[in-house]
Amino acid sequence: MSTKYVFVTGGVASSLGKGIIAASLAKLLQARGLRVTIQKFDPYINIDPGTLNPYEHGECYVTDDGAETDLDLGHYERFLGVKTSKANNVTTGRIYHTVITKEREGAYLGKTVQIVPHITDEIKRRMLLLGKSGNYDVVVTEVGGTVGDMESQPFIEAIRQLQWELPDEDLISIHLTLVPYLRAAKELKTKPTQHSVQMLQQAGVHPDIIVCRTEKVLPEDLRRKVALFCNVKPGHVIQSIDAPSIYQVPLNMEEEKLDQMVLNHFGMKEVPEPDFTKLEQFLEKLQNPKSEVDIALVGKYVELQDAYKSILESFVHAGAANECKVNVHTIHSEYLDEENVAEKLAPMDAVLVAPGFGERGLEGKITAIRYARENKVPFFGICLGMQMCVIEFARNVLGIADAASAEVAPNSANPVIDLMDDQKSTTIKGGTMRLGAYGCHIEKGSLAYRIYGCEEISERHRHRYEFNSRYLEQMEAAGMKASGRNPETGLVEIVEIPSHPFFIGVQFHPEYKSRPEMPQPIFCAFVKAAIEFKANRK
Ligand code: GLN
């Protein structure tokens, strides 16, 4: 059987959850035993989102093979439980880079290189690439941006061409739109959807299914109206209603028969019924918590929820595993100081200090860590959060008052966090950090060993600076242990304070590998520690 391609575009507004719909459909097809992968095409000109501030597009997600990607790849991995790679996220920048490199090599000698056909050919090649591997029955492609944007036009044009080049039963196009509810008129409005589909059709792409994002139930007559005006089959207009959890969306889509419509279109009749046992078990626990904790997430990108997407999702998974509702309170590190730290952190059952870059908010992070260390509040530091707990310890326990990170104090006399050796000659910023999966050897008897239950682990990284091992002996003598090291280079990957009930800092990003059906061990243990801390409060 030939590989089947699903294209998901979006209209009316951004942030409708196109990634969730695409991932939900992929999940439904996977639950029926099909081999499914999913990829994202992003219309911006950056080669990858690695150089973007999280305020632009939210968190940068990192894959095992070290690609810095769009956060939707995180949803794909979490929903499908499979690993994605560099090939699963393509940007306009990457497309142009390939075409321009080929042009310089002389691949188009004598020809004018144009958007159509050269750029669109390269887009199509990438759209079909994963399917050509023979590893998948279905490839779901999400096109970023909103139909009508200048940037996404070449992608829409590529889908238009593919609609003619592939057999009808090998390609299906799904369009996600918004049907707003006007409170004053007490009405759901379909006009924006009609306009969005018109725009898509003007570009030559005909949607086979329209998914309407809505906060109220979309009644049958409105579905028929959308179908009539948008020229799709009456049954092919479905709703995606606001859900209490994103993990509920695959089940909602199944109820709307989205997978059935797609399979019918593909002529796939002999596909087994889906098995959702594990997802349902997860949702059952998520929706029926037996306890509740308050956890502080101290960071500087707190205004934007998406900036810490994977961390927030990891708490959802770890919360369900502990049958506990985790209330995450984001606390702006820039406004945290000695004066207000107790007031802000005293109500918390645990403190997580987030990853990040640059100087802004660093001192607030250090203040939060000192509070957690001295008051024996469970503490978990990730990447920059780990680096700051090393600085806090050096300053306040070892008495090295000017201990600093070379990232913000390049001439510091005591760089307890220093630039990694192989970073010293790096001048290019894009894609040059220590990225992707690295092994870590855990010392037996440590907190990390009790958490992971094994000595060899692998986690994903994204950083340039490291624990400066020149200070290791002093640190260990004073009570901060390096319990995890890279087996090849000896880089310190995990630090902990054994005299504290739960104090751990990790140089890697464990949040990237947490899944609803396979929650990340440190997050699980951290939530458990928060539950215990709360129980022992006076
Ligand atoms: N800025 C720090 C570094 O580059 C930490 C990075 C991070 O938190 N992801 O090492």
Among all chains, which residue has been given the structure tokens 């326990």?
Answer: 397
How many Å apart are CA 449 and CA 455, to the nearest integer? 7
How far is residue 237 from each of residues 5, 219, 225, 232, 465, measured CA to CA in Å?
Answer: 20, 11, 9, 8, 51
CA–chain centroid gap for 180, Å, is 27
Q: Cβ neighbours of residue 403 under 8 Å, at least 6 residues apart? A: 391, 394, 395, 412, 414, 416
- Return the pLDDT at 432: 85
Mutating to test ligand 1, I would choose from 298, 333, 357, 359 the residue with most ligand atoms within 8 A of its C-beta, which is 357
Region of 507 please: left (phi>0), alpha (psi -120 to 50) or beta. alpha
Specify the residue with its C-alpha closest to ligand 1, atom 5.
384
pLDDT digits (tens, 9 = 90+) for 432-442: 889 999 999 99
- Return the pLDDT at 199: 95
pLDDT digits (tens, 9 = 90+) for 503-523: 999 999 999 999 999 999 999
- Tell me how far the alpha carbon of residue 463 lies from the centroid of ligand 1, in angstroms: 4
Alpha-helix residue ranges (DSSP H) falling in 166-266: 191-202, 220-230, 249-255, 258-265
465 lines ligand 1 (CB under 6 A): yes
463 lines ligand 1 (CB under 6 A): yes
- State both tokens at 311: 């961390």
How many Å apart are CA 158 and CA 120, to the nearest integer? 5
- Tell me how far the alpha carbon of residue 471 lies from the centroid of ligand 1, in angstroms: 19
- Tell me how far the alpha carbon of residue 195 lies from the centroid of ligand 1, in angstroms: 44
- Dihedral over Cα of 164, 165, 170, 173: its sign: negative
How far is residue 19 from each of residues 71, 131, 200, 212, 428, measured CA to CA in Å?
Answer: 9, 19, 19, 14, 31
Return the amino acid letter for 50.
G
41 lines ligand 1 (CB under 6 A): no
Return phi, psi of residue 67, to 5°. -85, 140
407 lines ligand 1 (CB under 6 A): yes
Annotated catalytic residues are 383, 509, 511
Specify the residue with its C-alpha closest to ligand 1, atom 1.
357
384 lines ligand 1 (CB under 6 A): yes
- Tell me how far the alpha carbon of residue 507 lies from the centroid of ligand 1, in angstroms: 8
137 lines ligand 1 (CB under 6 A): no
Specify the residue with its C-alpha closest to ligand 1, atom 6.
463
pTM over the 0.85 mark: yes
- Return the pLDDT at 368: 97
User: What pairs with residue 409 in β-bridges?
Assistant: none
- Tell me how far the alpha carbon of residue 384 lies from the centroid of ligand 1, in angstroms: 5
Query: Can you list the residues of the chain whose pLDDT is less than 50?
Result: none
Specify the residue with its C-alpha closest to ligand 1, atom 8.
355
- Tell me how far the alpha carbon of residue 20 lies from the centroid of ligand 1, in angstroms: 28
- What's the alpha-carbon Rg for the chain, to the nearest Å? 25
Atom nearest to 356 CA in ligand 1: 8
Please write down the HEC assignment for all residues of 353-365: ECCCCCCCCHHHH
